[in-house]
Structure 1
Amino acid sequence: MTAVHIALVNDYEVVARGVVGMLRTYQNRVRVVELDLNKRVDERVDIALYDTFAGTQGDRAAIAQLTSNPAVRAVVVYSWNLDPTHIATVLNNGADGYISKGLPASQLVKALEAIYAGTERVHTGGVSIPTIIGGDWPGREEGLTEREAEVLALITQGLSNVEIAQRTHLSINSIKTYIRSCYRTIGVASRTNAVLWGIEHGFRPDRLRIEHPEPSPGTAEITVNA
């Protein structure tokens, strides 16, 4: 069976590379051929996998732009948000599939293959609240959860609590809870210091196309167009 060719769409290199790391032993079935950090997908791909970390949740313009790209055969949203109403909105917005970030690598590969084959569209793992199994995000090594890291990334970008709630589809109270736990973890007491910490620890989006060396044996193949 021919490998499914994937473009990873995310503004953060560490997040995109975390997904590449998850898929590294499955490159005979799923091959990452392009990383797109806030750039248009250039290479023809079977699936554009849109990671929602610190981005819109797939129900707005980002997905519409991907679905209108003739180089992309199918668009799949990769998210922790498993609300059925939200998922339906994303699919109605033009996405071809929706996958939970809580899936282990083997199930992620099966989900991508099923969506590519057109046999299924939604893969949540059968749970309402995902457990993060693989991947990576800024601040993980400092003890931040993915949710805390995402909120901090949005704070670092200058978004208010209301804007963060709208972006993440979380309540204001949930945002405040994540902010408090985040502040405790990184040892700051103010938003200003949190922003400074975020800037120093890679929480600003990577906005330039990155160059990659030739992949070593056993790793996912990555090709970046100029």
Structure 2
Amino acid sequence: MDPIRVVLADDHPIVLAGIKALLNADPEIELAGEATNGGEALPMIRSLVPDVAVLDVSMPGLNGLELTERVAKECPATRVLVLTVHEDAAYVQPLLHAGARGYLLKRSAADDLLRAVRAVAAGGVYLDPSIAGHALADPSAATGSSGSDESGEALSPRETEVLRLIAQGFSNKEIARRIDLSVKSVETYKARAAEKLGLKTRAEIIRYGASHGWLDALTLR
């Protein structure tokens, strides 16, 4: 099996050294490159096309949010894992909107970094266990449950399966391969499920998935 190729960007030398040591200690992970600011990281990611980019949120030049947006648009094969000291749930939603696949607190890195890298590399979503529950719970946002009750339309088993995998961060192509459907069929099931539940964005689908326990297993990988 090929190693998981990672690019790391963090402007704190001590943190950078610690994260490098964790990554280098795992024979299944290859540290392909490192940068100390967003301006260095973006061209490096474009050039190396790693499987995972581990990015600090607060960096000079391009910050983590801007860098995540650029990587998601310009390097879709690279999945972003955000590494941060910020425990405020308000930080999570904008980063998910920007295209991040993972959110890990720096204080959890020693125990959970390798698990998070593997989960994101495999196509899933990883949220730090200490914030996963409240970070996606947004009572004021449309979670879809009320829409389902009002319309009386329940999801079919296949619609539920597709939506669950979407919430976990898999692409339509990855889902098609996993459950042996065409990409077009996956898109159809996704559209039907989202319409029934009144879900309009990926973030809303993730919130719905979190409220139904679909992300719980991901935080344990």
TM-score for both structures, normalised by structure 1: 0.48
Higher RCO (CA-CA < 8 Å; seq separation 6+): 1
TM-score for both structures, normalised by structure 2: 0.49
Higher helix share: 2
